[in-house]
Structure 1
Amino acid sequence: MGITLPMDNLSNMLGRVLPWFVAAILAVTAVAFLWNGMHARQDDGPDAVWKGPNPVVARAMALPERMLVELEGMGERPKRADKPVEAKPPVVESKPVEPRMPPPSMVNSMPKTPPKPLVPVAGSQYIVQVGSFVYEFGAGQLLERLQSRGYESTVLEAVEMVTLNQVQAGPYDDLEAAKESEVKLMAGGFRVTIEKNWQGLIIPVGESMQLGDAISIMDKAEQLYVRPLRVVKIESTQKLYKVVMGPYKDEAEAKGVASRLADLGMTSPLIKIWYGGTDLKEGWRATQPKS
């Protein structure tokens, strides 16, 4: 026969035993904690100081071969300077300045010669040259202007070596290019011919003693699409028409006349020595070279 316990008695038994069981477990845990703490204090001693974790001993590590090659190429590092190094300004090499040549459009082929001073001799007289013209029309206009103001004057003709401003097309390397420019100029009303000099083929377009007139000729040629063009100074014989006054017996009288003409707005008159006597035209003819 089995023994049967009533359920009420089992519940009462567990209610009395369970608290004691839990208390025993807590007591054992507390004793173990206290025991471990006392054991650690005995090992360390009262004067023990925490020194941190154990130091790590450095060991040389092998570098990759690529880094070794780069370090060997760099060499030793430069030492740090004790004082700051002043930056030196960059050195600029000075090159000789080449002299600038005049533009090819204005070539002066003849040197300038200073005018000869007046050297009076026994029996010499003086004349005042008021103007010199290439065209007789200009000399006639000045003659009328002087006579209207009461000044007796004369027009003398002379063939002299003068400096002219000549407009040239070229130089050209081949005849075909020169012919093309020649046709353009002739179509524009210029009477031109092709010439040859040491630079090549050129075409003289026109010339004048006045630079302004030469530039006007160049402008007309440019409008015909003629290239290249330039102004060259040349010396050539030229028939001139000179308006003169005199002769005067001494230089002081000639200077007085020239000063009065300058006050009237005339171009600066020139004073020249005259050897031809009192008749200007007859004396002038006698002094001209025989043709």
Structure 2
Amino acid sequence: MVHQLHEEQFRTFKEFLSCFMKAETVVNLTPKQAKVMILDDPELILKSKSCYVGAQAALILKNRSKNDSPVQIFLSQVKDAYIQCASQMQKTLPLNNRTLKSLAALDPALANDSQGVQLLKQLALDSFKHLLSESEKADVARELIKYSVDDSLHNFRSNVVEWWSKVSARKCYPILSNVAAAGLSFFHGPAVESSFNSLGDIVESKAASMVIGTYSAYPTVRYALKAEHTTALEYFNRKNAHSNKVIDRHLCVNMRLSAQRYRKVQLERRPKKAM
């Protein structure tokens, strides 16, 4: 879940801050406060000798005088590095992202919680409003009222994906089900990283750009083959390439369409000749 990723990122940020900041400053920190806090405030940060430097460095420093110039320079550089790195994390991490926090409302545990209902309303009318028609936007509040007091949902309490699958199957909350499907469509992990890494195999110096549809087709095929526990050679295998026809005719159709789209894109990118 994306909201779990958000919580993990915030927890990691707090753990990093505790390496050079006072514990009482970090323990009750909220995402909103973390986004605007002054990281080099001398009232919040530890003394240089109290900053975390690792076991090996601490062992070396233990046998050295704290008044040694190299030791003081090292500890000062450690604190500066912590502050600069935390500042970069503060700028880039979605610590107070409204959409990510609203996604927590998809958790079954918040189905009958007033705060969870408000978050789900924000998710529908702010983050995914482009997916809803005007009439559906007007009906969001009505569905939420019914959803918040529906005791029958407790009969199939489970993980978030199974929960919304069963809620959607009942067809009592079509708008909320569509919102949940959009929210649960976000994914992350090694599969996403590998899809970007694979671009090096299909983007070359002669074709350094690619339309979204073409790139999207590539990971889609990869995931489909992975789900079938097979490879492209095994899936489209023919004993005799000359006599045996391709069973999956969609493959040939898609290849022809892909070639047509590619030629069309190339023609559109060519500079038009002056009249």
Q: What TM-score, normalized by structure 1, do the two folds share?
A: 0.16
Q: Which has the higher strand share?
A: 1
The structure with more radius of gyration: 1
Q: What TM-score, normalized by structure 2, do the two folds share?
A: 0.17
Q: Which has the higher helix share?
A: 2
